Amino acid sequence: MGDAEMECFGPAAAYLRKPERERLEAQTTPFDAKSAYFVAEPAEMFLKGTLVKKEGGKATVETLCGKTITVKDTEIFSMNPPKYDKIEDMVMMTHLSEPSVLYNLKERYAAWMIYTYSGLFCVTVNPYKWLPVYDSVVVNGYRGKKRIEAPPHIFSISDNAYQFMLQESGAGKTVNTKRVIQYFATIAVAGGKKVDQNKMQGSLEDQIIAANPLLEAYGNAKTVRNDNSSRFGKFIRIHFGSTGKLASADIETYLLEKSRVTFQLSAERSYHIFYQLMTGHKPELIDALLITTNPYDYPMISQGEITVKSIDDTEEFIATDTAIDILGFTGDEKLGIYKLTGSVMHHGAMKFKEKQREEQAEPDGTEVADKIAYLMGLNSADVLKALCYPRVKVGNEFVTKGQTVPQVTSSHTVL
């Protein structure tokens, strides 16, 4: 596809394929295949350079930065001609080696071309910024095209899988899954069925896409390495009818990192939903959940960082709140979800003390317990009694057991 054909991708074209001018210039750039080499270098891994001499099992290379390096002749690698710079499928390289692959990915990444093919695989390098390569214009640009007819992209992989499923001609981890779902939901829109707006706010395809913001709000968190790390696993099934239209979808979740609710490292954060609720975007929720907008009022979610530079909690909360509506929850159900979330935040502020001259624990004030009970629709006295004097089964009977402060603290943390 030349520049003219790439116009179908709109502004995303610059992030998908290098322009014709650059490709033509590369074909006329002087290149000496006999002396152009990559050389192993401890600090940079590999450097580009010119072979000066090669003898006695040793090779001397003068790098482009003016450094002369002598290494074993097994530690130099032939460079590819300039026409292969930023190549879209790396198996097409004349010399396929570790440095040629790394340099190709590096140069494509420098141009914000984050997708690159390597044979059957699509290699993705996380840009850690938003790129305009996922909108509906791009979806339509890839629709129905063979893999060799368009630049590398997760949409191309998705379309090939879709066409293969339909046995039509052209058949060939948390962000690409979203894009696959987005792609299928866009091209396989179910038609002919009128949506009952009294029962749901969004169509089936809208609901499939909307499930993700809600899952991310309650299942994603900042870790040391990833600002939006999925702390759970999910298995997604998308079902199609005989005509290729979307029929339904189901999601199975598993292995949620529950410990993150009560403990975070200093450079990490708890689940996004807690901080979204405290943005103050919906003041009525602050009152309804009996919370403040200060995360430090809640010890359980303020052990690490409370803000993330790459995440706008207000914007994300709007997406979460909208997703709940699209998924068909009623206003009361949505408020119930938020109330349960608020009660979790309050749990960390509960305090207990020892009775005088006893090891038995008792509440150190009931204000927090009253809030939790209100939000969960329970009786405050019953909540505190269950924590301080739990009933346990002994044989065939239930008996009341006393609890020390550490035991009560452990019990309510487990909750």
Evaluate whether 273 touches 279 at the Cβ level (below 8 Å): no
Query: Is 27 part of a structural domain of the chain?
Result: no
Q: For residue 415, what pLDDT is reported? A: 73
**Could you tell me if 209 and 341 lie in one domain?**
yes
Q: What is the dihedral of CA 368, 374, 375, 380, to 10 degrees?
A: 60
Query: Is 116 part of a structural domain of the chain?
Result: no
**Could you tell me if 263 and 360 lie in one domain?**
no
Query: Is 404 part of a structural domain of the chain?
Result: yes
**Could you tell me if 277 and 242 lie in one domain?**
yes
Residue 30: count of CB within 10 angstroms of its CB: 5
**Could you tell me if 358 and 397 lie in one domain?**
yes
Last residue of a domain, one of 323, 346, 369: 346
Query: Is 402 part of a structural domain of the chain?
Result: yes
89: helix, strand or coil: strand
Query: Is 19 part of a structural domain of the chain?
Result: no
- Which residue is associated with the tokens 């939790």? 372
The total number of structural domains that make up the chain: 2
**Could you tell me if 255 and 283 lie in one domain?**
yes
Last residue of a domain, one of 346, 361, 376: 346
Tell me which residue range forms the domain holding 375: 352-414
Question: What CATH number does residue 392 fall under?
Answer: 1.20.120.720
- Name the residue type at position 57: G
Query: Is 32 part of a structural domain of the chain?
Result: no
Handedness of CA 363, 367, 371, 373 (dihedral sign): positive
Q: For residue 62, what pLDDT is reported? A: 94
**Could you tell me if 296 and 383 lie in one domain?**
no
Last residue of a domain, one of 297, 324, 346: 346
**Could you tell me if 280 and 404 lie in one domain?**
no
Residue 77: count of CB within 10 angstroms of its CB: 17
Query: Is 305 part of a structural domain of the chain?
Result: yes
Distance CA 390, CA 402 (A): 7
Distance CA 5, CA 19 (A): 11
Distance CA 213, CA 326 (A): 11
**Could you tell me if 342 and 362 lie in one domain?**
no
For residue 172, give every residue at least 6 positions away whose Cβ sits within 8 Å of its Cβ, in sequence order, or none.
146, 147, 160, 163, 164
Tens digit of pLDDT per residue, the chain (415 long)?
Answer: 788 889 999 999 999 999 999 989 998 899 999 999 999 998 889 999 999 999 999 999 999 988 999 999 999 999 999 999 999 999 999 999 999 999 999 999 999 999 999 998 999 999 999 999 999 999 999 998 989 999 999 999 998 888 776 644 333 367 788 888 888 888 887 554 444 544 556 788 889 889 999 999 999 999 998 999 999 988 889 888 888 888 888 999 988 999 999 999 999 999 999 999 999 999 999 999 999 999 999 999 999 999 999 999 999 999 999 999 999 999 999 999 999 999 999 998 999 999 988 889 999 999 999 999 999 999 999 999 999 999 988 888 889 999 999 999 888 788 7
Query: Is 375 part of a structural domain of the chain?
Result: yes
**Could you tell me if 242 and 265 lie in one domain?**
yes
**Could you tell me if 239 and 369 lie in one domain?**
no
Question: What CATH number does residue 241 fall under?
Answer: 3.40.850.10
Q: Kindly report the pTM of this predicted structure.
A: 0.70
**Could you tell me if 324 and 384 lie in one domain?**
no
Evaluate whether 123 touches 116 at the Cβ level (below 8 Å): yes
**Could you tell me if 214 and 334 lie in one domain?**
yes
55: helix, strand or coil: strand
